[in-house]
Amino acid sequence: MKICLINNGGHIGISSIGNAYNQAFESLGLDFVFINFKSYPKMHNDMINMIIKSYLSMNFFDAVFMIQPTFIYSDTYFYLKGIKQQKGTKFYSINTEDPYSFSTMLQMSDLFDLKFTNEKICADRYQTMGFKYLPVAFNNYQNYKQREKEFDLTLFCSYYEDRVELKNKIMKLDCKKFIGGSIGYAMMHNIPMDLTGFTASPGLMPRYKEYELYSQSKFVLDPHRDPLITGPSDFNVPGKMCIPIVKEAVSPNPRFFDALGCGAIPLVNSNRTECFKILKTLLPEIIEDVITDIELNEKDLLLDLKKKLDQWEKYKRLIYYAPNQILSDHTYLNRAKTILEIIEES
């Protein structure tokens, strides 16, 4: 089977997942071509769409895999449907931004023979449309190592409005902490800098630097986006169809696996039941203590976090189990194997 793997380079997190799948496909000895748009960071979506159309028209592939294809224009979508019909090419999407971009995926659903989504709610609700649950994972190809715990608590993410509020809460906590990430959303929506607490955007780190940060942290706060904040212009989709799914989302994001794989304990929203299941396999007796509710009021949240910091000796047992377990079960090599097994069975 001749494969084309297309990596959307518009976002550093998505790009790193695409690179991980590239390395996984290489490890499996697959015959494939890797088109990595992260190699052209300033390339506009117009050019990306043109390259995809021209490349797939000039070359035959049995299967085309697209990592997070929400950048596909409508004319490209119809063009690729023509290629699919004329050449018999199978198209598969690997969605890494669900549920936030799920409305867009529904719009182009019939292009893809199967849709691998990182959100269980999406897979369960739309399985008759070819959606399959495939969580994100830890990038086992990325170099990292355990380090001394320099930070009690880390919050590193893009600062949407709800996360600005969370950041301001934990700034009042008396502990050694690292606060950083991107305030691009805040700047776009004219949230005053004195509310974000930054005088300029700290920007986004390379993934290996994030791993270094997490490996130096005891706990990593892992907030998910507010249901009414799904990204710039709600990904330009009328009706905000993905908002109900965002409210119900249960699955982990990459930051969850990044933290665990580097030996830190992620603290997630209390509704993320898929995260509970993963943590429960690692250390069942302290699972209820490890999960927190980031949406608690300020007083209760700070008390909860202070309690966890004070009981670190109890919790740190988790980090001796987590990295080996994550590297054994939740890697992109295993995810790639799962994709091939599902395709072969379908």
Angle between helices 298-310 and 161-170 (to 10 degrees): 60
| Main-chain phi, psi angles of 31, to 5 degrees | -90, 100
Query: Residue 203: left if φ>0, alpha if ψ -120 to 50, beta else—which one?
Result: left
| CA separation for the pair 116, 181 (Å, rounded) | 28
pLDDT at 230: 47
**Phi, then psi, of 133 in degrees rounded to 5:** -80, 120
CA dist list (Å): 127 to 43, 166, 315 = 34, 35, 37
**Contact at 8 Å (CB) between 14 and 97?**
yes
User: Rounded distance, CA 121 to CA 133, Å?
Assistant: 9
Decide: 264 and 152 in contact? Cβ < 8 Å: no
Map tokens 């799948």 to a residue. 21
Whether residue 103 contacts residue 237, with contact meaning beta carbons closer than 8 Å, is answered with yes
Helices 254-261 & 317-329, crossing angle to 10 degrees? 120
3-state SS assignment for residue 231 = coil
The pLDDT of residue 227 is 67
Please give the domain boundaries of the chain with CATH numbers for all domains. 2-137+331-345 (3.40.50.2000), 151-328 (3.40.50.2000)
Do residues 65 and 2 touch, judged by C-beta distance below 8 A? no
Beta bridge partners of 331: 138
What is the model's pLDDT at position 235?
44
CA distances from 238 to 49, 163, 191, 229 (A): 22, 25, 24, 14
SS3 percent helix, strand, coil of the chain, rounded to 5, is: 50, 15, 35
Q: Nearest-CA neighbor of 100 among 257, 258, 234? A: 234
- For 285, other C-beta atoms within 10 Å of its C-beta total 9
Q: pLDDT per position in the chain (346 positions), as tens?
A: 899 999 976 677 788 899 999 999 999 999 999 998 876 656 778 888 999 999 999 999 999 999 999 888 999 999 999 999 999 999 999 999 888 888 888 889 999 999 999 999 999 999 999 999 999 999 988 877 778 899 999 999 888 878 888 998 999 999 999 998 888 878 877 888 777 888 777 777 888 889 999 999 999 999 888 766 645 454 445 556 777 788 889 999 999 999 988 989 899 888 899 988 888 877 676 656 666 778 888 999 999 999 989 988 888 877 777 778 888 889 999 999 999 999 999 8
Instruction: Compute the residue count for the chain.
Output: 346
Cβ-count burial of 219 within 10 angstroms (0-12 exposed, 13-18 middle, 19+ buried)? buried
Query: Which own/partner contact pairs does 199-202 have at CB distance under 8 Å and 24+ positions apart?
Result: none
Quick one: pLDDT at residue 251? 95
* Cross-strand pairs, 179: 155
